Structure 1
Amino acid sequence: MKVGFLGAGKMAQALAKGFVAAGLTKAENVIASCPKSDNYLLEDMKKDVSGCRTTHDNLEVVEQSDVVVIATKPPVVPKVLQEVNPAVRPHNLMMSIALGIPIRNLEQMLPRKTRVIRVMPNTPSLVKAGCTVYSCGTSTLEDDGQLAKRCFSSVGYCEEVAEVLIDAVTGLSASGPAYIYLMIEALADGGVKMGIPRPLAYKLAAHTLIGGAQMVLQTGKHPGALKDDVCSPAGCTIEAMYFLERSGVRGAIMEAVVSAALKSKETGQRN
C-alpha cells in the first residue's frame, strides 16, 4: 500500500510512523508534502519515518499514492483539493483528518465518485494510545472502511461512527487530551502545594489518570461505581468530591466538550 500525506504536521508524522510500524506499508512507500515555508516538518517526517519520501508538490503525493491522507489545516483544504483534482483517480482512497469538514463538502471538492473517508484521531496517536473514529462517504467500497480501521487501529483504539457524531467526538476525544493535561497539571500543583517534589507529582498525577482509565476499561464498571468504591464514609475522598461538585467541575468539563464540538461544527460550515 502506497500512502501519501497532504500536510506533514505532528498527526501526519504519528500516523505515518504507526502505519509503517504495524506493517501496513513500508517507509519507502510513504510520501508527504507541505509548503516550502514549513520545510522543517518534512525534516521531522524523515526522522520519524526513515526512508520515506518528501516533496513540496501536492500533485506528486496523489499520483504516487493509493491512500491519500488529507492532513492540512481546514482553511487550506479547498485550495489543496482544487490543486490535486487533476491527479485523483478511481483507485485513490482519500482519508481526511481535517477538523470539521463534512464528507459532502469533501466529495464536492473532489472528482465525482471519489472514495472519501472522514477521520478524527487525537494526538496520543503519537505514542500509539490514540482514540480515532471514522465515517465512510457515499462512494466508498466495503473494504475501504476495513482498511481505515486497520490503519488507525495501528496507533490506538478505532471505531466507525455515523458522521453526525464526529463533531461531538471532536469535542470529547480529539480535544480531550488537552483537558487531561490540564487535570494532570492541576493535580500535580496540588501535590506540590502539599510538599511533593514536582517531578514526582507529575508522575503520580499521570499514573493516577492512566490507572483510573484502565479500571474503567478493564472492569467494565460504571465510572460512578468506581468513584463510590474510593469514597469511604466521612473520608478524605468524599470530602474532596464534595468540594469538586460544589465548585462546578463536572458542569465545566461538560461545557468544555460542548463548546469544542460546536466549534468543530462551525469550522465545517465555513469550509
Structure 2
Amino acid sequence: MACAVSRSGSGEQACGCPAVRASALSLSAADCARVEAEACRPPKDAGVPVTQWSCALLSAQVLRNGIEASESSVRRILRRAALQPHRQKMWLTSQDDEFRDKRDDVLHVYYDTPTDEHIICLDEKTGMQALERRYADLPMRPGQPVRREFEYIRHGTLTLMGAFDVRRGKLFGFVSEDHNSLTFVDLLNVVDACYPEGDGHIICDNLSAHDTDDVLDWFDEHPRWKRHFTPKHASWLNQIECAFSILHARVLARGSFVSKDELREALYAYMLWHNQTDQPFHWTYRPASWSTNRGRTSGGRN
C-alpha cells in the first residue's frame, strides 16, 4: 500500500513522519565539532557513570548541551570523524631505563649481522593446556561456521622451549613439563648442537631464568654465542613471539587433546610441517628516531 505524501511548511511528510530528518541536515560545523569533542571526553567527566559512550548516550548528552542530534546523526558524525568510543587498544609502557639501547641492539642484530653468523630467538611458550572438548564439534555448513561445545576437560599443561632461526624461518625446540634456568640451558645446548660451526647471536627476554649463574656459565663456555636482551615489556621485538602467535592460532586455539602426550605430538608435528613450508618474516620495523641511513640494509628480509 502506497503512503500518502504531502508537503507543508514544516517539510515533506510521509505517513506522518518527516521524509528528511531535520536534525540530520541542520547541524552546523560548530555543532558537529562539539559532538566530536564530547565523544572524546570521558563520560564520568560529564556526570554519566559509564566507561564509554554509546551513540544513544552521546545523543542524550549533547541534547542536554543544547544540540538536537539524533542517535543516527551522532553515529554519522562519529563515523565521518573516525571516532570509535566503543573500541579500545591496549598498550604497555616499558619502564626500562635502557629501552632505546636494548631495542637498537636487537634491531641491529636483525639488520646488520654478517650473513655467515646465526641469529636465533629463544623463548618459552608456557601454560599450553591439553584441553579435550567434551563433545565433538559440529562441522561447518553453508551459511554456518563450525560450532563448538563450550565444556572441556583439562589434562594438564606443557611448555614449549622454543627457538626460531631468523634467517631461515625455522622453529624448533622441545616440549617440557616445566621451565626454569636449567631447562633454558638445555635449550641453549640444543641450539649449540644444531649450529656446530660459526658465530651466532641469541635474542631473549628479561625473564629471570635467562640470567642466572648457570646461564652465565654457559655463555662463558660458549664464547661464539653472544646474548642480546629485549627491553622490558617489549617482547614483540623477539621474532619468536610472531612464530608462537601463529602456532597458537593454527594448533592450540581450536585443538582438542585427550592427553598431554597428544598435545606434545601435535606440537612436534606442527614444527616439522612449519619448517617445510614457512619462510622468514619480512621484518621492517625501524624506529622513527633512526636517521635515513642508520641501520639500513638493502633488504628487509633476513
TM-score by length of 2: 0.22
Question: Higher helix proportion, which one?
Answer: 1
Larger Rg: 2
Q: Name the one with the larger strand percent.
A: 2
